Copies of this chain bind each other. A is one copy, B any other.
Amino acid sequence: MARLTDRIAAANADALDRLARAAPVLSGVKDARTLVPALSGRTLLHAGPPIAPAAMCGPMRGAVLGAALVEGWADTADEAARLLDSGAITLLCTHDHGAVGPMAGIISPTMPLFEVHDATTGRVACCPINEGIGAVLRFGAYDTTVLERLRWIRETLGPAIDAALQKLGGLPLIPLMARALAMGDEMHQRNIAATALFVRALAPHVVEAALPAATAAAVLRFLADNDQFFLNVAMAACKCVADGLRDIPYCTVVTAMSRNGVEFGLRVSGLGAAWFTAPAPVPDGLYFPGYGAADANPDMGDSAIVETVGLGGMAMAAAPAVAGFVGLRSAQDALVTTTRMSEITVGPNPHFKIPALDFAGTPTGIDIRRVVELETEPVINTGIAHRRAGVGQIGAGVARAPLACFQQALAAFAERYAT
């Protein structure tokens, strides 16, 4: 019988090999209920590990109320709150249904989602369309402007992007994302290159999709005004890739890191669907004028799926412009961050390379053993939400995936595989 370390090494190599073969393609935009069969009746998905309605943080609760209003389950926020508190709304985890969502991550049945499928395996993953900044559902806002924008996204933007994608025949995402990484995006806090490349690829097809000119212009303007538009596409792509690494026996690679605004949760390939949780940290970073740490909600959202496959904080060295934004002092600090992350990962990313490091691949495949041994917590580049529903983003910074999650996971791994 092979030694345990050899089995783990083979399993982790298999994970990186699956990642190398992944070929996520943005194939369309579809209703959430089409992509997620569990979304029947009054059911919503939320970001992070499971959480009871009563335990939800302010922004997530606000987003639930907004979703109930958009779906027409309630006419007022009070009515929606009564539904939620009475247990009449079923809440499920995004990550259990091939989905990811930013911040609160609320996905409702009629919400249009980006559909990404892996051309190699056929696996599908999805994520909502980015709403822009300011008062938006993902930060728990549900005023009239927010709901009207969501309806416009559902009735107009989603179908227009879908029509353009059908004209295009799908958009392979790895080449675009690799290119954007070489253009200073780390694809978590900075997506301007990816967004611009996305618009450039899609624009002719938006025009050819037989939309009224005013609609085509409105769609292109919405994309032009939102530097983070691509983040949600990247999240769907990363979820698609990460799900391909799940359930490999003996594999110590992390397949999901996510936060529900209260707890941080971790999944590990060899340990299936189990979540290993700890209190979600408050990110360390910079606040917009007028805000400070006392206003901050603990870390929230499924967006750390990008770090799970070698982007975001792992790729800090690719994006020195992000370094200052998240509180690092220099481009050198960004290089140091990426170098530290290479100590807790299985290997260099075969797709995503960093010009400033002479095109070395980003650190990829977080190995729970290395995290525990070195006590080096994975770095997550993240936005900071106000703890009150609907205020929105109040800063940006670096969150560290709690060591406690990795320690629990390693203990469970030892129990399961050590004989």
Instruction: Spell out A's residues near B (CB within 8 Å).
Output: 179, 182-184, 192-193, 195-197, 199-201, 203-208, 210, 213-214, 216-218, 220-221, 223-224, 319-321, 330-332, 355-358
**Which chain B residue lies CB-closest to A199?**
B200
How long is the Cα–Cα vector from A207 to B205 in the complex, in angstroms? 12
CB–CB B217/A207 < 8 A: yes
Contact partner, A203, options B179, B183, B224, B356, Cβ 8 Å: B224
A199: chain B residues at CB < 8 Å are: 196, 199-200, 203
- Report the minimum CB–CB distance from A10 to chain B (whole Å): 34
Which residue of A193, A207, A330 has the most chain B CB atoms within 10 A of its CB atom? A207
26 A-B residue pairs with CB within 8 Å:
A179-B192, A182-B321, A183-B193, A193-B196, A195-B200, A196-B197, A196-B199, A199-B203, A203-B220, A203-B224, A204-B220, A205-B217, A207-B207, A207-B213, A207-B216, A208-B213, A208-B217, A210-B213, A213-B216, A216-B216, A319-B355, A320-B355, A330-B358, A331-B355, A331-B356, A332-B358
Bound complex: CA A203 to CA B200 (Å): 8
| Residues of chain B contacted by A204 (CB below 8 angstroms) | 217-218, 220-221, 224
Central interface residue in A183, A221, A330, by most chain B CB within 10 Å = A183
Residues of B within 8 A of A213 (CB): 207-208, 210, 213, 216
B residues near A321, Cβ cutoff 8 Å: 182, 355
Report the bound CA distance from A356 to B335 in whole Å: 10
Q: Of all chain B residues, which has the CB nearest A208?
A: B217
Q: Which of B196, B205, B358 contacts A200 (CB 8 A)?
A: B196
